[in-house]
Chain A
């Protein structure tokens, strides 16, 4: 069963506009949600996280929103830059500390 889902395999936006990446989950016991960014031939790098007791966390151009009733979170990137082009993974932390990842969304930011 896929506990964390990213239903959009790809997203293309214009430089300077907002990028919105979405993620859905099924397990209400997750205590943290994280976003990772991955470039080709590199391991995933941590971007931003949110505790399950919060509904918003902001770090510079990146904001994560959590809607627990809908079991949905989203990552907003404003303004988008060409260097943001990468694969973005949503992840949720279970009670053992392991992360469960979604399938990823490839973001392309066009100059």
Chain B
């Protein structure tokens, strides 16, 4: 399968614990995006990378969140000291920079439940 893959698909954790999500994009894509989706809302932009450079971070991304893409391939999103408000689906997407129709290709998401 050559699509975007995310791991784990579901994570249940207790408040205050740290969690890390991994995303493997489509191999030839140089852009990688993280979004968050809560019930009844559309995906909200968190951050994106072009190759290994993190080019933009949303105001939604508090200092408890950190994302990396060390070699311009896979990416990790870490949430430290989780809070119940962090419960959401975390979506990763990849694309070619300025692809012809602008589409992002999404993974199936990692659902976080903070108890």
Hey, which chain B residues are within 8 Å of A65, CB to CB?
A: none
Tally of A-B residue pairs with Cβ under 8 A?
65
Q: Which residues of B contact A (CB under 8 A)?
A: 4, 31, 33, 35, 40-45, 48, 55-56, 91, 93, 95, 97-98, 101-109
Hey, which chain A residues are within 8 Å of B95, CB to CB?
A: 97
Give bound CA distance, A4 to B42, whole Å: 10
Report yes or no: A101 in contact with B44, Cβ–Cβ below 8 A. Answer: yes
Hey, which chain A residues are within 8 Å of B43, CB to CB?
A: 44, 89, 99, 101
A sample of 18 more A-B contacts (CB under 8 A), given A32-B101, A44-B43, is A34-B102, A34-B103, A43-B4, A43-B108, A45-B106, A46-B104, A49-B101, A49-B103, A89-B43, A97-B31, A97-B98, A97-B102, A98-B56, A99-B43, A99-B102, A100-B45, A103-B40, A104-B42
Closest to A2 in B: B42
The 10 closest A-B pairs by CB, nearest first: A101-B42, A43-B106, A32-B102, A93-B102, A46-B103, A49-B101, A43-B108, A101-B43, A44-B106, A103-B42
Known: A45-B106, A97-B31, A103-B40. A34 touches B45 (CB 8 A): no
**Interface size (A, Cβ < 8 Å)?**
27
Hey, which chain B residues are within 8 Å of A49, CB to CB?
A: 101-103
